[in-house]
Chain A
Amino acid sequence: MKTATALQVPLITLVGPPNSGKTTLFNLLSGKNYKTVNYPGSTVEYYTSRILSKYNINAELLDSPGIISVVPESIDEKISVDSLYSHPKLGVPDLLIITIDSCQLSRHLLLPKQLISSGFNVIIVLTMTDILAKRGLKISVNKLSNALNCDVVAINGRSKQGVENLIRSINSNLERIKVSDKKNIIPYSLIKNKKNLVDTFKEIEEILNDIYESVKVDERIKLNSANTELKILQVNNIDNGFTPDEATLKIDRVLLHRFWGFLVFLLVMGLTFTSIFWLAQPMMNLVDELFTNLNTLVIRNFEPGWFTFLVSDGIISGTGSVLVFVPQILILFLILGLLEDSGYLARGAMLIDKPLSKIGLNGRSFVPMLSGFACAIPAMIAARTIPNRKERLFTIFIIPLMSCSARLPVYALLIAYLIPRNKPWLGGILLGSIYLFSTISSIIVAWIINKFTKKIFNTEDSSSFILELPSYRIPKLSSVISHTYNSSKQYILRAGPIIFGFSLVLWFLTFFPNLNPSVETAGITTEQIQNLERAERLEHSYASDLGKLIQPFMSPIGMDWRIGLSLISAFAAREVFVSSLALTLKVTSEDDEEQSTLLNSLRNAKIEATGEKLFTVATSIGLIVFFIFALQCLSTVAVSRKETGGWKIPLLQVFIFTSLAYIMTLITVNGLRFFGIQ
């Protein structure tokens, strides 16, 4: 079962329930120099690392997803458990380190009990001992060690106290494993004489009766002076378990309050949403500018030819369209990481679960959906926190319906075109209505799609919402930052190549076969010549052929092939629609005036066949409606493919949302015309 490479270096796997301090310990031992390994065909990811050289242990360390028990229920849980027992690439772990929250022994000891009966070599690491000490208690490491027949080490993740004991224990365990024969590991579900859950918990309670000790008097005084408000529990008062952390309960009286709690929730989420929006914008502009400048630099300094254009408009712009999303991803994961680490995110999920469950979603779908208003890409990655497979896939499915920020330039252009110049306030109202309309229609569409989830997602997980509300604590910035960094790296490495590849294909379609067009050059600037050349090239490109091919579809919605072509180009990224429209309408002007002259050319554009006005009120509103529903973003398709582990869902999304967009546009344009609005 073990691979040759794994034989040389022992494998140590970190296991633990969620919120047990597992990741903190992993960072402590690995020094954050980790890489991820993916279980083939799934989105379950693991971090691996060599243990820091200063600890002098030659072993591979594997971090596994947080679980509370090794009896899997969903497909993803099964993958987690299976690869814990025997990782497809790294083999069977030689040693397990299980992190356990000292304040929650009675719940968290279930996992080590199960893993020890499976035959694993186990070291138990007790975390959060400082919080237990504030309650005047400590755990007798020796008694617990004897009761479970494995090494037990207490560690303080913040002060790093106890790490040397853990290292000693790892070393002695690894030595013992070397000399003894390999143990026979049996999957827990196959153990014949295993106890049922109730009996296992009874055993745990018996162990617990005996292992708590009072903190020594002098230590208690020290702790008391540091925190005089905390109640000290009596040792004989613990057989019914502890009461939850007092400070947490006090905060929760407000944050989970029926009225105030929901208000705070809306406020926190509103702030999160606007900050992904506004904080990321300057950085995105910076990335955008950087690549535009690089692009111009290449075009100015090299002979025009297909290779130069491949480098400038293909490779440089393609890289740009991958990297432009990084600021939003960074900010989203930073804020979510801080909220998660503080313990608030679980409360938010609880507050919003009821309304979302009405349309087949889960409280944990909320944050990904909200992020979708900024950008669908980080939103889909954020959906990983939803444990239920069906609900996760469904959340990913409807995320493209959220009105992402890339649609803003399109809305802005069309709104500017629609409203009279002397009434700019009308624009704000119109934009607000667009967002309201898109939110309401997303809810309706989600409600309809929910009726078909069984067919679409092929899984029948029963919907469930049981979520631990962890004690509040001050978030650990360093681990949040390293997690943010890794998520962004993952995005670039995984989704990057697909987005990049699609960009190249689109470049090819919009540049060939008429690569070097001839244009009238008399009396105009080089800038204008370049723009004319671009327009000419685009007009005779394969993409334009495609645009003409869909002309029969465009006519019923009052549009022509030029809009069709811009819609196809917009697949690279929605905001490309505006620049592409400018090109096809042959706008030859300086960049800073682009919009006002573009508005003029929109006003003057006529449908070639009939000579009718192209951009009427009806068609402009129709276009807005099209953008509200259509999934025309290759990056989203690429990420959806990656996150759902197959092509089925992304293709269905493109098909359903784009045909929905078409039908809705058809209804809007012809409906408006019916009422006499051209």
Chain B
Amino acid sequence: MRTAAELNYKEKGIISEIDSSHPSSKRILEHGFTPGQTIELFCKSTFNDPIAISIRGILIAIRKSEAGCIKLK
């Protein structure tokens, strides 16, 4: 299954679930990454990590290791 960490530049995806075993999962949910939300990869940082994701009308920078627990449909 693809995750938000694997999105390509400008690609959109719909969140299916958040991997609750990840230590950051609660923090990710609190930022509004909930199932059903459409997200888009806005850009990657110079070193490819972290990435900036557009969600709920805002850009959020997130490390790839943490974006990996955002599973997409």
Measuring CB to CB, which residues of chain A are less than 8 angstroms from any residue of chain B?
68-69, 71, 73, 103-104, 106-107, 110, 197-198, 201-202, 240-244, 248-249, 252-253, 256-259, 261-262, 346-347, 349-351, 353-355, 357, 363, 462, 464-471
Contact = CB atoms under 8 A, between A and B. Distances in A.
A71 B49 contact: no
B57 A243 contact: yes
A25 B26 CA distance: 29
Contact of B62 (A248, A252, A465): A465
A244 B40 CA distance: 11
A241 B50 contact: no
Given A71-B26, A73-B26, A198-B35, A252 B43 contact: yes
A104 B58 contact: yes
Contact of A465 (B23, B30, B66): B66
Contact of A68 (B31, B54, B63, B66): B31
B38 A256 contact: no
Contact of A241 (B24, B56, B62): B56
Contact of A197 (B30, B46, B52, B54): B30
Interface string B30-73: 11101101100011111111101011111111110010000000
B61 A465 contact: yes
A466 B57 contact: no
B49 A248 contact: no
Contacts of B52: 252, 256, 350, 469
Interface centre among A262, A354, A462, by most B CB within 10 Å?
A: A354
A69 B27 CA distance: 9
Query: Which of A244, A248, A363 has the most C-beta atoms of chain B within 10 angstroms of its own C-beta?
Result: A244
Given A355-B47, A357-B63, A243 B54 contact: yes
B57 A353 contact: no
Contacts of B45: 256, 258, 261, 350-351, 353-354
Given A69-B30, A242-B56, A462-B24, 9 more contacts: A73-B26, A110-B30, A110-B32, A197-B30, A198-B29, A240-B37, A350-B45, A354-B47, A468-B61
Contact of B48 (A71, A103, A354, A470): A354
Contact of B24 (A71, A346, A464): A464
Nearest to B27: A466
A363 B62 CA distance: 11
A244 B60 CA distance: 10
B58 A107 contact: yes
Contacts of A71: 26, 30
Contacts of B26: 71, 73, 197
A202 B62 CA distance: 23
A157 B29 CA distance: 29
29 contacts: A68-B31, A107-B32, A107-B56, A197-B29, A201-B32, A241-B55, A243-B54, A244-B59, A252-B52, A252-B59, A256-B52, A258-B44, A261-B45, A349-B61, A350-B50, A353-B45, A353-B49, A354-B48, A357-B63, A464-B66, A465-B62, A465-B63, A466-B63, A467-B61, A467-B62, A468-B61, A469-B58, A469-B59, A469-B61
Contacts of A464: 23-24, 27, 63, 66
B28 interface: yes
B47 A244 contact: no
B61 A242 contact: no
A244 B58 contact: yes
B17 to A, nearest CB: 9
Contacts, number: 127
Contacts of B42: 244, 249, 252, 256
A466 B61 contact: yes
Contact of A354 (B34, B50, B60): B50
A197 B59 contact: no
A459 to B, nearest CB: 14
Nearest to B48: A354
Nearest to A355: B47
B57 A104 contact: yes
B46 A351 contact: yes
A69 B54 CA distance: 20
B55 A353 contact: no
B8 to A, nearest CB: 14
Nearest to B54: A244
Contacts of B30: 68-69, 71, 110, 197
Contact of A248 (B27, B59, B61): B59
A497 B48 CA distance: 46
B42 to A, nearest CB: 7
Nearest to A343: B59
Contact of B46 (A240, A259, A466): A259
| Nearest 8 pairs of A and B residues by beta carbon | A242-B57, A354-B47, A350-B61, A469-B59, A462-B23, A107-B32, A241-B56, A197-B29
Contacts of A259: 46
Contacts of A256: 42-43, 45, 52
A462 B69 CA distance: 15
Contact of B60 (A349, A462, A468): A468
A462 B58 CA distance: 25
Contacts of B23: 462, 464
Interface in B1-34: 23-24, 26-32, 34
Contact of A262 (B31, B46, B49, B66): B46
Contacts of A467: 60-62
Contacts of A462: 23-24
Contacts of A68: 30-31
Contact of A106 (B47, B57, B61): B57
Nearest to A241: B56
B59 to A, nearest CB: 4
Nearest to A464: B24
A139 to B, nearest CB: 14
Contacts of B58: 104, 107, 244, 468-471
A346 B46 contact: no
Contacts of B27: 73, 464, 466
Nearest to B60: A468
Contacts of B28: 466
B54 A466 contact: no
Contact of A198 (B24, B34, B44): B34
Contact of B32 (A106, A346, A350): A106
B47 to A, nearest CB: 4
Contact of B56 (A106, A262, A470): A106
Nearest to B63: A465
A293 B47 CA distance: 52
A558 B73 CA distance: 69
A104 B56 contact: yes
Nearest to A240: B38
Nearest to A465: B63
A179 B41 CA distance: 52
A249 B29 CA distance: 24
A517 B15 CA distance: 80
